[in-house]
Structure formats: C-alpha cells, structure tokens
Amino acid sequence: MTEQSLSVKEAIRNRRSIKLFNGQPVDQEDLMNIIDTAVWAPNHGNRQPWRLVVSIGTAMDSLMSVIRDFAVPNWKELTEEEINKKMLKFTTPGAYAFVIVPQDVRQKERYEDFAAASGFIQNMQLLAWDLGIGACWKTPNWLDNPKFREALGVKPEERIISMLQFGYFDDIPKEKPRKSAEEIVTFFK
C-alpha cells in the first residue's frame, strides 16, 4: 500500500513554517526530488531564474561555522553554552537551501524573477510538507553581508532571497488566522 499525497488544497491549508526542528537529518535524495519537482513553478519566458546552494549531511558543520560568524556577532564574548543556545535555531534543521536569483538591471525582469523564485520556494515548502519534512523561509539581514555572500559563492549580479531550512519536527505550530476572500477582494465595476 502506498502513502497517498495531500491534495493541493490540503497542502496549502495545512503547511506550517517550522521554526523548531528535531535535528534529524534530511535525506539528500528526498531534497533533490523536492527541488526537481519545484522547478515547475511558473516563470516568465521559462527563464528559471534561480540557483541554489544546498547544505546537507556532513557539509552542515562547515555551514554552521560560517553562520555562527554572522548570526552570533559577539560570539567571542559568550560562553559555549550561550553560543549553543543562540545557534539552536540554525543547528537543528536537517538541510539548508539558499535560493539565489539574478539581479537583472531591467526592473520588470527583476520583479518577474523574484516572483518566479518565490513560487519555486513555495513549491519546495509544499512538496517537503507532503513528505513530512518541515520548512521555514528566512531572510536574516546578514544574507547580504559581502563576506557571507562570498562564502556561498554568490556573484555580484546575484542576490540571496531565501535561507530555506528543511527538517523534521515533533510539533506542528497552531494555525494562525488568515484574512478571508471577502476581506481582501474588491470587484472591479
């Protein structure tokens, strides 16, 4: 008997951003399958304006060393226990994907590329959820730090738009209310 996937509606309604992962590693094959399907996000002119830098498995130690320098700027003044506490939100995910897009000089294309990459990111989150893998899209201010960009191999004409964390979790966050269609729609007359 095969496990049935969620309906699109179920995936959209039930997916939650996971902020506390349990530290279990994510399987590289699962992550690659998620990405292989997520690339079907709509994108103008089929530009597929994204690339990823992924950290999984043994590479996570190297990434944590880099992140620590930016996420805990005063780490040299802290005890190891204090550093570990601050780093907990970074060390418990089982994988990372940094989504990078071109910074097209043409404004229309730059907006289209960002919108397409956002759809791609949402696809990854929904596909992960369907496999029982949580995700959280984060944008800490240090993503734009030149030294962090250099560590990830980001080119001057590119921008990191997402630090996407993947991992397993023990608790599902509660649903937060959303606005209804009646609250956000005005019909053109």
Instruction: Flag whether pLDDT at 113 surpasses 90.
Output: yes
DSSP readout, 30-66?
HHHHHHHHHTTS--GGG----EEEEEETTHHHHHHHH
Ordered domains of the chain (ranges, CATH): 8-184 (3.40.109.10)
| pLDDT tens readout for residues 49-74 | 999 999 999 999 999 999 988 888 77
Interval 159-179 mean pLDDT: 94
Residue 1 has pLDDT above 50, yes or no: no
Q: What is the rounded radius of gyration, in angstroms, for the C-alpha atoms of the chain? A: 18
Cα separation, 132 vs 125, in Å, equals: 10
Report the side by side order of strands in the sheet with 158-167. Answer: 51-56, 95-102, 158-167, 134-138
- Residue 44 among known ligand-binding residues: yes
Confirm or deny that 139 is annotated as ligand binding. yes
Look up tokens 């089982």; give the residue.
94
pLDDT at 83: 86
* Between residues 142 and 74, the one the model is more confident about: 142
Residue 138 annotated as part of some ligand binding site: yes
More confident residue, 120 or 173: 120
Q: What is the pTM of this model?
A: 0.91
> Is residue 17 marked as binding?
yes
Structure tokens at 142: 């240090």
Report DSSP letters for 117-176, one per residue: HHHHHHHHHHHHHHTT-EEEEE--GGGG-HHHHHHHT--TTEEEEEEEEEE--S-PPPPP
Q: Is 13 annotated as a binding residue?
A: no
Predicted pLDDT at 77: 86
Whether 21 and 94 have beta carbons less than 8 Å apart is answered as yes
> Which pLDDT does position 71 carry in this prediction?
84
The structure tokens listed for 61 are: 């130690």
pLDDT in tens, 116-139: 999 999 999 999 999 999 999 999
Q: Mean of the per-residue pLDDT values for the chain?
A: 92
